[in-house]
A and B are shown apart, each in its own frame.
Chain A
Amino acid sequence: MPFLPSTRLMLFMLGSIGLITLPHAWHIPPLLFGFFTLLLLWRLLSVWQPRYLPNRFGVFLLMLLGIGLLYSQQHSVFGRDAGTSLFVVALGLKLLEIHGRRDVYVIVYLAFIVAVTQFLYEESILMALYILLVCGVLLATLITQNSQAPQTLAALKTSAAIILQSLPLALVLFVLFPRLEAPHWSWLDNDTHAKSGLSNTLEPGSIAELSLSPELVFRVKFAGDLPPPAQRYWRGPVYATTDGVSWRAPPVLGRENNPDQPAFTGVTYDYTLMMEPQKQNWVFALEMPTQFGAGLRRNGVYQLITNKNPGDRAEYQLSSSPVYNTGGISKTERRENLQLPGKPSEKIVELVKQLQGRQAGPELFIGNLLQHFRQENFHYTLSPEAMPDKPIETFLFERRAGFCSHYATAFVYLLRVAEIPARVVGGYQGGQINDVGGFLEIRQADAHAWAEAWLEGRGWVRFDPTAAIAPERIERGVNVDLQIASGAVNFSPIQLDAKTLSWLQRGRQLWQSVDYNWQRWIINYDTVNQRAFLQSLGIDNFVKLGYWLLISVAGVGGVLAWRLLRPNLRRQDPALMLYRQFCAKLSKAGIKVDVGDGPKTVAERAKGLRPDLAEAIERITAIYIRLRYQSDTEASDLQVLKKLVASFRV
């Protein structure tokens, strides 16, 4: 049978393929995506103009072109990007070659593979829904292919029904199918795309850039109480080396063996921290982490480092204690943390002197310094004027306006001039509580820099000069929405009032909560999580798992089969049902009722055989005939018939 795909089938298919490939525009080289788009449009055009389709030789040439493009762009067929490009190009080429039903299937199957490669780039709930929808359209393509002439809408409805019916079973398989830790194949790795966030270097403007970004960095769910806002410091890189303008986090390798382990006292917070994909393998623990899982280590500057791929979402179980004593300091460490880029200027030395830097103890000097910030008209602003030259001096003596990194670096610089070991600590501060999900969300806008000074007998102590001039920054945290509303930051032409804002916030929180659970239960459902979850169900070995799998699949399948295969008969006339009961009673009494007998025939025969029941039989027959065959039915007839049949005794 010659195969002529209908226009509708082709449009269906090309539409769904366009949709399924679209997000790859951001993932694969533009040249390859352009090639694919060209092929798709070509095929689309030939739906109406079949003569534009290339012949076999043309397809062969295009294939060579595709291979050439693939090779020039990817140099490999392995790995995520290369594999994705390969499938996309193959799909595009196959589109030009539809000769039979088989080809339609090959295309749809390829499209499913392309769909799954989307998940290698993005695992958000929206992407999942999007792919689910497009899969629905793909299935509808197959339905159109297998039925003579169903309406487009009917095909979509059927495919939606099939997907909905399949979801429960898919979830059972998802939960119970054993997750094995896959070996990490290095050749499959691809660089993650540039992500914003803290880096090894603290540039003057770097945190200000972040402060506008609502991008999520990590979420924290506490097992018990939350620490007070003033203690929510999430420790990141430690910047100890400076050239006077920028600060760098020195390579951490040499400083692993710190002489003293920190001592912890007081309250301990247990929490789960879920990192979004990052550039660096840093884990931002609450100061100061006491316990952490196997995949983590704490380096010499008390920062947690993970050995997992930072590009993946990851979840960590941590404990932290805000009261700690890091103990002594090694000579190297002391020297490193007193490093200055040349001699300090006269003005600075004067200031340190004025604040009794060298005479009094370090604590007094620090107190004076913070006092100085508070009293001398210093401002907190997210958009300070640029200070390209001698930033610290300009900041301290001229502008007196800046944000956390200005204060922290200036603070540390002055401490070092006063020969107190000090360093800048980067990380995040605060976080927004999600009322819906009951967890803390930390965004890039929460990026912060503070200072740390080593004090005899207390170890490294945190000082936050920003808190001195803008305590509300620490107490309440940065709220991007508020900043937008107050006009401090403005990139939206629409002015939002407080009410809209609270709705916005509420909506965002709800969404974040949904997203959190999505991450928690779907994306991060790995070997460890599965084992924990299955153990909570009492499944601790593979045999039991096998039983569970079998029983649940059979159970869900059974319910489905029962729902689907029920015969759907037409609703019967209630009068007829009652009359059938009556006939059944007659049959019990030995009065035969044939299928072809009308009610009067039945009544005559019954009266003849049982004259004693004549009256009841006549009444039932009369009402039944009225209900079923006459136009003058009375409202109460059905009720009366019901009673009569019920009370009919033979």
Chain B
Amino acid sequence: MDLALDRLLAAANQVILGKQPQIRLAVCCLLARGHLLIEDIPGVGKTTLSHTLARLFGLEYQRIQFTSDILPADIVGSSVFDAHQQLFSFHPGPIFKQMILADEINRATPKAQSALLEAMEERQVTVEGRTYPLPQPFFVIATQNPAHQIGTFPLPESQVDRFLMRIELGYPSRQAERELLSGQPRHVLIDELPVALLPAQLADLQQAADQVYVSSALLDYLQAILAFSRQSTDFASGLSPRAGLGLLAAAKAWALIDKRQAVLPEDMQAVLPAVAGHRLNVGANDSAAIVAPILKHVPVL
């Protein structure tokens, strides 16, 4: 199974060039049963990344383009009256797929955003008093334009917390860009991609990630990080207990990808920018810079 994971990462790196760390974080996020927020300008490959992952994991894939006039019903679906049968029938929305790419989520109104976020959190949809479970696994990759663009509704602070990780893709390196330009179109490559991991295998991996050992020394370190974030004047708000749980789950998945059975401080440090960056309300987008004081000052020893 470890080999399958390696194959998967290798294949993804073939499609998305020069973005190994981001791909790894995205996979890690999936293994930790979290949702992913990608924040970047259009065109850097957000869609490609999500599509590639869906392919490799063999998940049903649906892209939802968020616009300013999208309604909650456009996302979750609505009840339609069938005049012949004299019955209401539920027409499921696009969200009833295993992997959702919620593109440009900050273009939609808060109402539409929260419809998505509620579904993400509860992994089910409630329409007209009836509850419809979402498929398993359920994984949302949302993309967001940088907040300073006009005509956007940035996700409220309380809601970005629903995403386990936020990553930035950034422009490709010169060499990667050259390969991109000279190679085949990406969508062709994606269509050719084999399924690297069966859904059952994914479930097993997620379970294995849960069982990665966490020593009390590591929990001390985690608590020190949380305490530091709450004390430090560098941050507008400290990390919530939910953030702590997310950090732990992500670090476990990271250790699993690294083929280890125990979490090391380095795992925690590796996932920290992605997990904590968007929760500290600093305003800046560079997650690595945001969490730098934590990495520098919280003692591991």
Contact = CB atoms under 8 A, between A and B. Distances in A.
Q: A–B direct touch, CB within 8 Å, in complex?
A: yes
Interface of A: 573, 576, 579-580, 583, 594-601, 625, 628-632
B300 A595 contact: yes
Interface string B69-97: 00000000000000000000000000000
Closest 9 CB pairs of A and B: A598-B265, A595-B299, A630-B262, A598-B266, A631-B213, A629-B215, A628-B217, A629-B262, A600-B266
Contact of A595 (B213, B218, B269, B301): B301
A596 B299 contact: yes
> Interface centre among B294, B299, B301, by most A CB within 10 Å?
B301
B215 A595 contact: no
Contacts of B263: 629
A94 B301 CA distance: 59
A598 B269 contact: yes
Contact of B297 (A579, A596, A599): A596
A130 B135 CA distance: 77
Interface string B263-276: 11110010000000
A596 B264 contact: no
A583 B262 CA distance: 22
A638 to B, nearest CB: 14
A275 B298 CA distance: 74
Contacts of B298: 595-596
A325 B156 CA distance: 117
A294 B157 CA distance: 95
B174 interface: no
Interface in B270-301: 294-301
B67 interface: no
A597 B269 CA distance: 9
A601 B297 CA distance: 15
Given A595-B298, A628-B217, 5 more contacts: A576-B217, A595-B300, A599-B264, A600-B264, A630-B262
Contact of A601 (B218, B266, B299): B266
B38 to A, nearest CB: 27
A579 B262 contact: no
8 contacts: A579-B301, A595-B299, A596-B294, A596-B299, A625-B264, A629-B215, A630-B261, A631-B213
B183 to A, nearest CB: 33
B60 to A, nearest CB: 37
A109 B262 CA distance: 62
Given A580-B301, A630-B262, A596 B217 contact: no
Given A573-B217, A576-B301, A598-B269, A631 B262 contact: yes
B301 to A, nearest CB: 6
B22 to A, nearest CB: 21
B296 A629 contact: no
> Interface centre among A579, A583, A595, by most B CB within 10 Å?
A595
Nearest to A625: B264
B255 to A, nearest CB: 10
A580 B261 CA distance: 24
A632 B213 CA distance: 10
A595 B225 CA distance: 13
A415 B296 CA distance: 111
B215 A628 contact: yes
A601 to B, nearest CB: 6
B265 A631 contact: no
Contact of B295 (A583, A596, A625, A628): A596
A407 B217 CA distance: 91
Contacts of A600: 264, 266
A583 B300 CA distance: 12
A631 B294 CA distance: 27
Contact of A629 (B264, B297, B301): B264
B227 to A, nearest CB: 14
Nearest to B293: A596
A630 B215 contact: yes
A632 B294 CA distance: 29
Contacts of B217: 573, 576, 628-629
Contacts of B215: 628-631
A599 B295 CA distance: 14
A599 B218 CA distance: 12
Contacts of B299: 595-596
A573 B262 CA distance: 18
Contacts of A583: 301
A600 B298 CA distance: 16
A594 B297 CA distance: 9
> Interface centre among B262, B296, B297, B299, by most A CB within 10 Å?
B262
Contacts of A629: 213, 215, 217-218, 262-265
Contacts of B264: 598-600, 625, 629
B265 A599 contact: yes
Interface string B239-271: 000000000000000000000011111100100
A598 B217 CA distance: 12
A625 B263 CA distance: 10
Contacts of B265: 598-599, 629
Nearest to B299: A595
A594 B296 contact: yes
Contacts of B295: 596
Contacts of A595: 296-301
A629 B255 CA distance: 12
A580 B301 CA distance: 8
A596 B272 CA distance: 13
Contacts of B300: 595-599
A591 to B, nearest CB: 14
A554 B119 CA distance: 72
A423 to B, nearest CB: 91
Contacts of A596: 269, 294-300
Contacts of A580: 301
B300 to A, nearest CB: 5
A601 B269 CA distance: 11
Contacts of A573: 217
Contacts of B294: 596
A472 B261 CA distance: 91
Nearest to A580: B301
A551 to B, nearest CB: 44
A603 to B, nearest CB: 10
A159 to B, nearest CB: 35
Contacts of B297: 595-596
Nearest to A577: B301
Contacts of B218: 629
B273 to A, nearest CB: 13
Interface in B155-177: none
Contacts of A576: 217, 301
Contacts of B269: 596, 598, 601
Interface in B212-226: 213, 215, 217-218
B251 to A, nearest CB: 11
A600 B269 CA distance: 12
A596 B213 CA distance: 21
A633 to B, nearest CB: 9
A506 to B, nearest CB: 56
Contacts of A599: 264-266, 300
Nearest to B213: A631
Nearest to B296: A596
A62 B234 CA distance: 66
Contacts of B301: 576, 579-580, 583, 595
A601 B265 CA distance: 9
B270 to A, nearest CB: 10
Contacts of A632: 261
B98 to A, nearest CB: 33
Interface in B193-239: 213, 215, 217-218
Nearest to B221: A598
A421 B123 CA distance: 124
Nearest to B261: A630
> Interface centre among B265, B296, B299, by most A CB within 10 Å?
B265
A632 B269 CA distance: 23
Nearest to B300: A598
A486 B170 CA distance: 109
